[in-house]
Amino acid sequence: MQAARVLYAGIDPSSAQKAFAYGAVDGDLNLVVVSDGELEDVLGWVKENEVAVVAVNSPSAVNRGVLRDRLRSERSGGRQIRGADIRLAEYQLRSAGVAVTGTPGRAELCSPWMQRGFQLYAALGEQGYRRDLDGSSPRLLETHPEACFHVLLGKNLLPKPTLEGRLQRQLILHDRGLRIKDPMLFFEEITRFRLMQGVLPEELVYRAEYLDVLAAAYTAWLAAHEPHSISMLGDESEGLVAIPAVYSSGNGG
């Protein structure tokens, strides 16, 4: 009997269709799945497959005040530091020009998609996934796809909801070796008639959340195959964020 392929998955708890979007690639970066589902669907899929690394586009812990404490110790005086009520990793990403949603200090104050993320982390933990830094498998990572795209392109991106923004992100992933639909085929399929009728071949372009989970899956693949190509931002007590290695893991200035 043929051994199951080892997979690398990305999961996003903010799908426009269902509660979660998820995608996975194999060791050769072949696309295995990209889909939507509820929590039980995602957990069932993970359990049925040999998924070595899962990267989740959601905070893995609430804000523990690490940044606030660091800034207070640097500036002293014990006064309130304005703008410091975010996690350290989020501060680092914002300092690099990436738009990041801040994570509150209590789970009940977090947005619904963040709370779904916490549920996912807990459930995957029950399935044996660990956020250890020693590279053990199965492994669970927090990531931020927009930051991943930002690093891979080396500059700010076009707006994600737009067609051109999606094409740009899909091209980034395709150029990194993911065996997904070639976004350049989109332009080959455009004819004068189709353009006049407003019928564009959008089936060749992935939805924004699918591109996010594929970027997360690629980050999971990097963590397993090229761990030197991964940076871990933030502080372990409130969640380390894995992205392709460019940003410093210092305190962001």
Rounded CA-CA distance 105/102 in Å is: 10
Cα angle: 93, vertex 123, 142; to 5 degrees: 15
How many folded domains does the chain comprise? 1
**Quick check: 141 and 223 in contact, CB under 8 A?**
yes
The answer to whether residue 90 is domain-embedded is no
Assess if residue 45 is contained within a domain.
yes
Ranges of beta strands (E only) in 39-177 are 50-56, 139-143
Tell me, what's the pLDDT at 247?
53
Q: What is the pLDDT along the chain (253 residues), one digit of tens a residue?
A: 345 799 999 999 987 778 999 999 999 999 999 999 999 999 999 999 999 999 999 999 999 999 988 887 766 554 554 556 799 999 999 999 999 999 999 999 999 999 999 999 999 999 999 987 776 779 999 999 999 999 999 999 999 999 999 999 999 999 999 999 999 887 777 777 777 677 677 778 999 999 999 999 999 999 999 999 999 999 999 999 999 986 544 443 3
CATH number at residue 135: 3.30.420
In a domain, 197, yes or no: no
Report CA-CA distances (Å) from 74 to 84, 92, 251, 252: 13, 16, 11, 13
pLDDT of residue 123: 98
How many Cβ atoms from other residues are within 10 Å of residue 48's Cβ? 9
E strand or H helix that includes residue 25: strand 20-26
- The whole-number pLDDT of residue 83 equals 54
The verdict on residue 165 lying in a domain is no
Is residue 172 one of the residues assigned to a domain?
no
- pLDDT at residue 75 in the model: 64
Residues spanned by the domain of 43: 6-63+99-156+207-244
Residue 140 three-state SS: strand
Q: Is residue 211 a part of any domain in this protein?
A: yes
In the chain the first and final C-alpha atoms are separated, in Å, by: 54
pTM metric for this prediction: 0.89
| pLDDT score at 194 | 73
pLDDT of residue 235: 94
